[in-house]
Structure 1
Amino acid sequence: MSSPRDAASASAPSGAATENRQAQTVLRVAVGIASAGRPGVLEQTVGHLIDILPRDTPIFVCVPDMQDAGHLAQASQVSLLVGRRGLTHQRNAILQAAVGRSDLLVFFDDDFIPDALYLQTMSQAFNDHPDIVIATGNVLADGILDLPLTMDDAAAALAQPHRASGEITPVYNAYGCNMALRLQPVERNALQFDESLPLYAWLEDVDFSRAIASHGRSVKVMDAVGVHLGVRSGRQPGLRLGYSQIANPVYLSRKGTMATGRATAQIARNILANIRGVALFDRAIDRRGRLQGNVLGLIELVLGRLSPLRVLKFSPRGASTPSEMSRTTP
């Protein structure tokens, strides 16, 4: 499923640039995926990665139960971890496994399909710019924003010509469906994903991005491309997510990893999107449940008891997977 690139971009650099790159240490790169409850999707994505990645690229997969991994226990390239359910818990387990074994860790959602050159491009960006500590790629198509995409859709998007631009631009935060971390500052500063953001951990990517960005640059690498399928496992109950849409931005604002204005704007967008969805009878997403969660969150904010962890008191019936719900529409 690799995409063609502009021929000029594929040609090797010459002269001093070549010598400089040859003098650089080759970064050890690993991939990390947290998943739960959808082994078919996970197997499909990992199968794609095994097809396109060098055989010495470790793939760390963390699931809360072995049955969530499908048949991946037989995949020699996969290091299978079993960790506590919840995106931040599972990503921390992957971090712990990768530190000391890799220089660069790239987190993918279990339904993110990278281009064959994604890791090579991202690794080169980190090599060329030692001050980059976190980066996200260019999502060519995102099923979260509309209807879910298929592997055929991803193949078609990745097959389109993508002219390499070399563009690297600053971003406030990496997009959690595909984000690369330099592990040296993670290890040196004992950075972790905040486990006070439970379950699907809404905005955990913002929180971690802002924490690590105090040690270097947060950027978007435009030539590292991929497709986010946005797979949905049927209708999802929205009450938990709706509550988190209020509780998590407020928590991050108080913590200092999300600007207050940005947090307020995020909350407002969520509420307006849910009101609009209810008014338009949106059946693809549980907008009514989300709006109820929004209202509950606002009430608890006024009462002074709002907390991300209080979402655990809601019924887990039909709760969705960490990797799916962390990339949910506004």
Structure 2
Amino acid sequence: MVFFDDDFIPSSSALLGIARTFEAFPEVTGLTGTLLADGIGGPGLELEMAGQIIDCWDAEAKTAEAVASPRELATRIGLYGCNMAFRSTAIGEIRFDERLPLYGWQEDIDFSARIPGRKIVTDGLVGVHCGIKRGRERGRLLGYSQIANPVYLWRKGSMKGRFALKLCLRNLLSNHARALWPEPWIDRRGRLRGNWRAIIDLCLGRADPERILEWQ
């Protein structure tokens, strides 16, 4: 079972590479690939640029080498949702949590963390994640999810407390730091308002990922 974001551009032999990786590592139940570029931390990459990066990679025959002998580069508890694949037998009755609504921030980590077995990063799957910003969730809604969702997943047991705290603090601090001089592609002030609304809800004992459905 393969999941690609609509702004993820895979190499020409990505699916073959996934199959070969599962063949090479029979104990592995899930995997995520190697990104040649990721635009999620910036303004995003245009599809044309992503296509050029992939074409250069394929032209150098690097894809064929990786597919012929895929390597395990690291192990992971949760996988990056822009490109991940699982054995269907490992998924079983596990489904995405519908209590993480709209953009579903961290749903990839939650879903993959609940898949039993070993999960890895591999060079058998290669691609580019454009990180396109158009169509993403409004700032205040995502800001609420940046705090409420990790806390919910920690309580649920699919996210470690240290990692959840790291996510919350990182987003809260970065939104504070950039609120006065925000990037053109990020609604920092909206995210900050959402962060604090979630913190207040946590203090009042009513924080819930689904509360953002009330504010659309």
Please report the TM-score for the alignment, with normalisation by the length of structure 2.
Answer: 0.90
Q: Pick the aligned partner of 2:98 from 173, 195, 206.
A: 195
Q: Secondary structure in 1 aligned to 2:79? A: coil
Does 1:149 pair with 2:54? no
Aligned residue identity for 1:107:
F
Measured on the aligned residues, the alpha-carbon RMSD in Å equals 1.6
Identity of aligned residues (%): 44
RCO higher in 1 or 2 (8 Å CA, sep ≥ 6)?
Answer: 2
Match of 1:74 in 2: none
1:131/1:301 Cα in 2 relative to 1: closer, same or farther (>3 Å)? same
Q: Pick the aligned partner of 2:89 from 184, 197, 200.
A: 184
Which structure 1 residue ranges, 5 or more long, are not aligned? 1-104, 317-330
Q: Pick the aligned partner of 1:167 from 71, 76, 93.
A: 71
- Deviation of 1:280 after TM superposition, in Å, equals 2.2
The whole-number CA distance in structure 2 between the counterparts of 1:152 and 1:263 is 35
Match of 1:82 in 2: none
Aligned residue identity for 1:182:
R
Match of 2:110 in 1: 207
- Deviation of 1:279 after TM superposition, in Å, equals 2.9
Aligned residue identity for 2:19:
S
The whole-number CA distance in structure 2 between the counterparts of 1:283 and 1:201 is 23
Q: Secondary structure in 2 aligned to 1:220? A: strand
Aligned residue identity for 2:110:
D
- Deviation of 1:235 after TM superposition, in Å, equals 8.0
Which structure 2 residue ranges, 5 or more long, are not aligned? none
The whole-number CA distance in structure 1 between the counterparts of 2:29 and 2:136 is 37
Q: Number of residues paired by the alignment? A: 207
The whole-number CA distance in structure 2 between the counterparts of 1:200 and 1:136 is 20
Match of 2:9 in 1: 113
Aligned residue identity for 1:241:
L
Q: Pick the aligned partner of 1:259 from 160, 184, 202.
A: 160
- Deviation of 1:242 after TM superposition, in Å, equals 0.3
Q: Secondary structure in 2 aligned to 1:137? A: strand
Q: Secondary structure in 2 aligned to 1:148? A: coil
Name segments (4+ residues, structure 1) moved above 4 Å. none
Q: Pick the aligned partner of 1:285 from 179, 183, 186.
A: 186
Contact 1:236-1:286 at 8 Å conserved across structures: no
Contact 2:17-2:70 at 8 Å conserved across structures: no
The whole-number CA distance in structure 2 between the counterparts of 1:298 and 1:173 is 25
- Deviation of 1:184 after TM superposition, in Å, equals 0.7
Does 1:270 pair with 2:171? yes
The whole-number CA distance in structure 2 between the counterparts of 1:236 and 1:216 is 32
Contact 1:235-1:285 at 8 Å conserved across structures: no
Match of 1:66 in 2: none
